Amino acid sequence: MTNGSGFDVVEAVCELREDEVLDWVEGQLAADVPPLEIAEALSGGLEVLGQRFAEGIVFIPELVLGGELFGRAMELLGPAIEASGGEMKRLGTVLMGTVKGDLHDLGQNLVSVTLTAAGFKVVSLGCDVPPERFVEETARLKPDVLGLSALLTTTMQAQGDVIEALQAAGLRNGTRVIVGGAVANQRWADEIGADAYGADAIDGLNKIKALVGIND
């Protein structure tokens, strides 16, 4: 998406030109461009950034900064979207968190950025999340997918604990679960009864799309 001066917001997001992107957002709002149209353009930029990450063109720091830039731009757009009575089209809702005892959140943050860019609503519970909190939020939000991250061998069992807690609460059948993190793999996902394993942010996106029935 470009304006009259030929400004390419997708490329600006990919190149992390924050001041230019935020100025562009304010200019588009001042010109009465529908806020959802602006948001979709920003999302497109973040999605391209995610594709470049998958191709090895950009790396983790750029993806994290791109997500932060996207968040700041959406803060500017939030009031206008609310005032217009609109809502961004979402592919589904993903509830995410790093399991109890694990304080690492970089992996789930990368997945959150990638999912948001692709059109999912992501709700993150942060780190060191106990099974009962996952159960409470799953019951409250009824997400399409629950994502469980673990980086340490000492905390990976907590992923299985969450699935068992969902079963005990009668929520497992209606909740698709994906696991990820440095210690996880497909065998582990199968062992604890998860629905999918995400090897990285892009693989996680593709697996989550498959879980909700989206075929590219």
Identify the CATH number of the domain defined by range 9-84: 1.10.1240.10
Element containing residue 78 per DSSP (H, E): helix 60-84
Per-residue model confidence as pLDDT tens for the chain (216 residues):
555 557 999 999 999 999 999 999 999 999 999 998 998 899 889 888 888 888 899 988 898 888 889 889 988 988 898 888 766 777 899 999 999 999 988 888 888 888 887 889 999 999 999 999 999 999 999 999 999 999 999 999 999 999 999 999 999 999 999 999 989 999 999 999 999 999 988 889 999 999 999 876
CATH code 3.40.50.280 region(s) in the chain: 93-211
The phi-psi region of residue 74 (left if phi > 0; otherwise alpha if psi is between -120 and 50; otherwise beta) is: alpha
Residues 6+ apart with CB under 8 A from 159: 99, 148, 150, 179, 184, 188, 192, 194
pLDDT at 166: 98
**Which class in CATH covers the domain with range 93-211?**
alpha beta
> What one-character-per-residue DSSP string does 140-201 give?
HH--SEEEEE--STTTTHHHHHHHHHHHHTT-GGG-EEEEESTT--HHHHHHHT-SEEESSH
The phi-psi region of residue 176 (left if phi > 0; otherwise alpha if psi is between -120 and 50; otherwise beta) is: beta
State the pTM of this model. 0.78
pLDDT at 32: 94
Select from 182, 205, 196 the least CA-distant residue to 49.
205
CATH code 1.10.1240.10 region(s) in the chain: 9-84
